[in-house]
Chains A and B, each alone.
Chain A
């Protein structure tokens, strides 16, 4: 029995209200569609959000049991250097895993999930983590700016303790030139909206779902929830009507609360459906882009045994309005804001050192002394406990899943930042260990000594001359 064994999601903290967009660049469009979009912070991108969703999905499970990581999305930072391998390292997964990036279409989210299900079904993998994430850049004032939101979903696929069994799939593929972006381009191009809607969106999802129903001899009324992206709200309902589905069966598209999260969209809807699912519920999911993938699952009794997950619901609840369109431009590097000469110093990431130190930098692993039990970051060969000093008696020790408290902090207006002040401080970890970290997703005024923090994987910088996107872990004050 193969299927989904856990789920998770990541939605960035900030929301951009459509009215804010309209006030800033409304002169380029006639009216704003209602709602708001989730927008990445200055240190987030599709890759960091995928790590966030993956960590949520894995919870306290043993990382060693994961033997595959599939990443889907159309806006991953690297074209060359496998994004999924970087994410696997950030999640401290073993090196004996299969990894792949699925890209080129917003359908890649459902395709990656199908590939994971096939791998487990074919018994070449036991537990494959699927992360789908998108953080797409759109031109200021474009329709996409209202449509696109940032977010990620993650599903663990396996054959033991399955919470939703995989029952079948049906796909259609078309070279549909609705949107395209060459590898050298920053922004996508789109053909006329009415063409996308009428020749693609309204056709492919219907064709895939109808094919699925026919192949497995199903009735649309069999499903508790039907989840497919809602790029066009009216057509979204029309597809359901043509399928003979009841509007109550439709899973919320999250379009007005998060926006269209591209490759992540159908999987985020699936995660949201699982959050409310009951045993024996049938869930139908379809992705859209260059055709459509449709698949369906049956929820099992184990659904109630999924541990604490932030998933979609809790992420939706924890939000902060980003009232400044100018900050949004700065966060996404869409306008040449001034960082001063201090901010123009090139980082020149030492890649060989990064690889050597990958467990320290990307996995946030330090060491724990076998002799005295002191946890320490980064990894030390000589124990930092002055009363111990043992040499080479260390085990790897992961800090990314530990909470901590703020030992001290500051808000620095001198450090070059798109969102000053830079807040950082020293963190004391539960279970031992202390180090200094940048803080993120917080406001200086609410940060206090003693406040609890959790760790979050973020982008440190983009070094323009070398194209290097540097990543490491930061601390998020809880309640900050």
Chain B
């Protein structure tokens, strides 16, 4: 039995840019901005870094292939830099690489940086292209978009749990309203406006049954972390944040091609969560996880993720949403920073952006006092890449 990563690695510095439609910022600008905040937070100099992991998803859209763009933007002095790409977990994969790098003893200090410049396509939504199935995409994939792929999970969830479209959509509207409330209070968020349930329900349909406000934004952004071995951490700062679990689960194809999956949950999400709790020694995630940033690319994704991560019983998330369990002032705040809903989803940056919020909250250093949660002890981040029927999910748990 493997030992796992628990308490072997600590985060000693983080940085995160403002997210948004940053027409006057290039990917290079975003990398420099995130890195400068990160290294100043760690109180280090560039020469202290031994290795770097670099996450970007749509490289053709911004920086090109390989890892050179990070080294060039930051002028890293011939360091070992590794590029990661794993859909929406791309940044978490960069973080995972850096953590394993220092945990192995190969390096003392490692950098993880994720960036995505989406707003150079000329159209709304994510860049189009070959997508999930490579060469076969052009040949046999339906004309799927991200909203459509997740809308199919909403259709299925409503059907499996007997929700009328009206009841289902209202449940989802509460999720988005909550995230907008949080995002409105966050200076780094892209969308900073509160939205009412009624506004959400009246918005145009993007992919039935999902409307405009069920969809997250499309933004540019970057975020970074510097990690070291746990035993070295207090040499750099008094309040390092420790890594408790890092897990990834990837679909085997049985959801899409076998007929057992119910379509109303994400199997990889359940599996990655279960593995992460085991690694972190968590027995009751509903009680033990203080807060989480989960992959709310669409409102329905957040709903099923609450069940996949065992925060809510299967089919019962509606009760917890209605009880305000996941609100900023609730017992288990979800998306305290506003989530993908308000930050948008620059794919290669999102995982580290989520960790940034957990890191600041755990340190008691949320940018505005009104956003600071009371005494959080464990924070969870969750990324889901691909589509409900075929995907990868990462779960990271960090804490004091």
Contact A350 B207 (CB under 8 A): no
Chain A residues, Cβ within 8 Å of B210 = 410
Asked whether A449 is an interface residue with its Cβ less than 8 Å from the other chain, the reply is yes
* Chain A min CB distance to B206 (Å): 6
Are A386 and B142 neighbours in the complex by a CB distance under 8 Å? no
CA A264 – CA B156 in complex, angstroms?
A: 43
Are B147 and A412 in contact, with the CB atoms below 8 A? yes
- Measured between alpha carbons, how far is A437 from B139 in the docked complex, in Å? 12
Q: Which of B71-79, B91-99, B120-128 contacts A (4 or more CB under 8 A)?
A: B120-128
Report the minimum CB–CB distance from B251 to chain A (whole Å).
11
Return A456 CB to nearest CB of chain B, in Å: 14
Using A377-B257, A412-B207, A470-B138 as known contacts, say yes or no to A449 and B155 having CB atoms under 8 A apart: yes
Residue A360 CB within 8 A of the other chain: yes
The reply on B39 being an interface residue by CB < 8 A is no
The answer, yes or no, to whether A80 is at the interface (CB within 8 Å) is: no
**Min CB distance, B262 to chain A, in Å?**
9
Report if A357-B263 is in contact (Cβ < 8 Å); known contacts: A411-B208, A424-B143, A426-B389: no
In the bound complex, CA of A341 to CA of B121 (Å):
9
The answer to the question of A425 belonging to the interface, with a C-beta cut-off of 8 Å to chain B, is yes
Place the interface of chain A in its size category: 35 or more
CB distance from A398 to the nearest CB of B (A): 15
Decide: A348 and B148 in contact? CB cutoff 8 A: no
Contact A414 B125 (CB under 8 A): yes
> Which one of B138, B208, B259 contacts A433 once the chains associate, using CB atoms below 8 Å?
B259
**Are the C-beta atoms of B259 and A434 separated by less than 8 Å?**
yes
Chain A residues closer than 8 Å to B209, beta-carbon distance: 410
Q: B363 on the interface (CB 8 Å rule)?
A: no
Known A-B contacts A384-B253, A410-B207, A421-B208; A354 and B263 likewise in contact (beta carbons under 8 Å): no
Q: Does A216 contact B (CB under 8 A)?
A: no
Interface bits A417-439 vs B (CB < 8 Å: 1, else 0):
10001101110100011111110
- Whether B258 contacts A384 by the Cβ 8 Å rule is yes
Partner of B258, one of A361, A408, A413, A434: A434
Report whether B142 and A438 are in contact in the complex, using a CB–CB cutoff of 8 Å.
Answer: yes
Residue of B nearest to A377 (CB): B257
- How many Å from the CB of B274 to the closest CB on chain A? 16
Total of A-B residue pairs, C-beta within 8 Å: 139
Q: Which residues of A contact B256 (CB under 8 A)?
A: 426, 434-436
A376 to B138, Cβ gap below 8 A?
no
A436 close to B389 (CB less than 8 A): yes
- Beta-carbon nearest neighbor of A412 in chain B: B148
> Is B129 located at the chain interface by the 8 A CB criterion?
yes
In the assembly, what is the distance between CA of A415 and CA of B206, in Å? 9
- Distance A409 CA – B155 CA, assembled complex (angstroms): 7
Does B152 interact with chain A (Cβ within 8 Å)?
Answer: yes
Residues of chain A lying within 8 A (CB to CB) of residue B206: 412-414
Structural contact, A378 and B140, CB atoms closer than 8 A: yes
- Which chain B residues border A385 with CB–CB below 8 Å? 254, 258
Cβ-defined partner of B139 (8 Å) among A340, A354, A377 = A354
> Which residues of the partner chain B approach A436 to less than 8 Å between Cβ atoms?
141-142, 144, 256, 389
Q: Which one of B139, B140, B155, B207 lies within 8 Å of A414 (CB-CB)?
A: B207
**A345-B129, A411-B207 given as contacts; is B258 within 8 A of A386 (CB)?**
yes
Please tell me if the beta carbons of A414 and B148 are within 8 angstroms of each other in the complex: yes
Pairwise interchain contact A349-B138, C-beta atoms closer than 8 A: yes
Given A342, A410, A437, A450, which contacts B151 in the complex, CB threshold below 8 Å? A410
User: Which of B128, B148, B204, B253 makes the CB contact (< 8 A) with A410?
Assistant: B148
* A472 at interface, CB cutoff 8 A: yes
* Known A340-B123, A424-B148, A438-B143: A413·B259 in contact at CB below 8 Å: no
Shortest Cβ gap from A225 to chain B (Å): 43
A345 B128 Cβ-Cβ under 8 A: yes
Per-residue A-contact encoding for B115-135, CB less than 8 Å = 1, 0 else:
000000111110011000001
Contacting residues, chain B, for A444 (C-beta < 8 A) = 208
Q: Which residues of the other chain, A, contact B152 by a CB distance below 8 angstroms?
A: 408-410, 425-426
List residues of A (341-397) whose CB comes within 8 Å of B's CBs.
Answer: 341-342, 345, 347-350, 353-354, 357, 360-361, 374, 376-378, 380, 384-386
CA distance A348 to B134 in the complex (A): 12
Give B260-273 as 1s and 0s: 1 = Cβ < 8 Å from A's Cβ atoms.
00010000000000
Chain A's closest residue to B125 (CB) is A414
Does any Cβ of A come within 8 Å of B153's Cβ?
yes
- The interface residues of chain B lying within 8 Å CB-to-CB of A376 are 257-258
- For residue B202, CB closer than 8 A to chain A, the reply is no
B155 A410 Cβ-Cβ under 8 A: yes
> Which residues in A have their C-beta under 8 angstroms from that of B258?
374, 376, 384-386, 434
Interface core residue of A354, A385, A436, A438 (most chain B CB under 10 Å): A436
Q: Is A407 an interface residue (CB 8 A)?
A: yes
In the bound complex, residues from chain A placing their C-beta under 8 Å from that of B154 are: 410
Chain B residues positioned under 8 Å from A342 (CB to CB): 123, 125, 128
Contact of A432 among B138, B139, B142, B259 (CB under 8 A): B259
B136 adjacent to chain A (CB < 8 Å): yes
Q: Residue-by-residue, is B174-209 near A (CB-CB < 8 Å gives 1, otherwise 0)?
A: 000000000000000000000000000000111111
Question: Can you list, as one digit per residue, whether each of A293-318 has a CB less than 8 Å from chain B (1) or not (0)?
Answer: 00000000000000000000000000
Quick one: which of A416, A425, A432, A438 has the most chain B CB within 10 A?
Answer: A425
Given A341-B123, A417-B143, A425-B152, is A408 in contact with B263 using a C-beta cutoff of 8 Å?
yes
Residues on B with beta carbons closer than 8 Å to the beta carbon of A411: 205, 207-208
Residue of B nearest to A376 (CB): B257
Give A340 to B122 CA distance when docked, in angstroms. Answer: 9
What A residues does B254 contact at CB under 8 A?
A: 384-386
Question: Is B159 on the interface with A (CB-CB < 8 A)?
Answer: yes
Contact A408 B153 (CB under 8 A): yes
Given A341-B121, A384-B254, A434-B257, the answer on whether A415 and B144 have CB atoms closer than 8 Å is yes
Chain A residue at minimum C-beta to C-beta distance from B147: A414
Q: Please determine whether B128 and A422 come into contact, CB atoms closer than 8 angstroms.
A: no
Say if the beta carbon of B82 comes within 8 Å of chain A.
no
Given A374-B258, A410-B207, A411-B207, also A349-B139 (CB < 8 A): yes
B252 within 8 A of A: yes
For B142, B152, B153, the residue with the greatest tally of chain A CB atoms inside 10 Å of its CB is: B142
Q: Which residues of A in the span 435-477 have a Cβ within 8 Å of any Cβ on B? A: 435-438, 444, 449-450, 470, 472, 474
The CA-CA distance from A409 to B145 in the complex, in Å, is: 13
Interface string of B141-172 (1 = CB under 8 A from A): 11111011101111110010000000000000
Least distance between A410 CB and chain B CB atoms (Å): 4
Contact of A412 among B136, B145, B253 (CB under 8 A): B145
Q: Which residue of A lies closest to B215 (CB)?
A: A414
Residues of B within 8 A of A348 (CB): 138
- Residues in B whose Cβ lies below 8 Å from that of A472: 139-140
Interface contact A421-B207, CB-CB below 8 Å: yes
- Chain A proximity of B154: nearest CB distance (Å): 8
Which residues of B are interface residues toward A (Cβ below 8 A)? Answer: 121-125, 128-129, 135-136, 138-145, 147-149, 151-156, 159, 204-210, 252-254, 256-259, 263, 389
Sample (14) of A-B pairs whose CB atoms are under 8 Å apart: A349-B139, A378-B136, A410-B151, A410-B209, A410-B210, A413-B206, A414-B147, A415-B144, A426-B389, A434-B257, A436-B141, A436-B389, A472-B139, A472-B140
Given contacts A353-B136, A416-B143, A436-B144, 6 further A-B pairs with CB under 8 A are A410-B149, A410-B209, A412-B148, A422-B143, A435-B256, A438-B142
A-B pairs, top 4 by smallest CB distance, nearest first, are: A412-B148, A410-B151, A408-B156, A424-B142
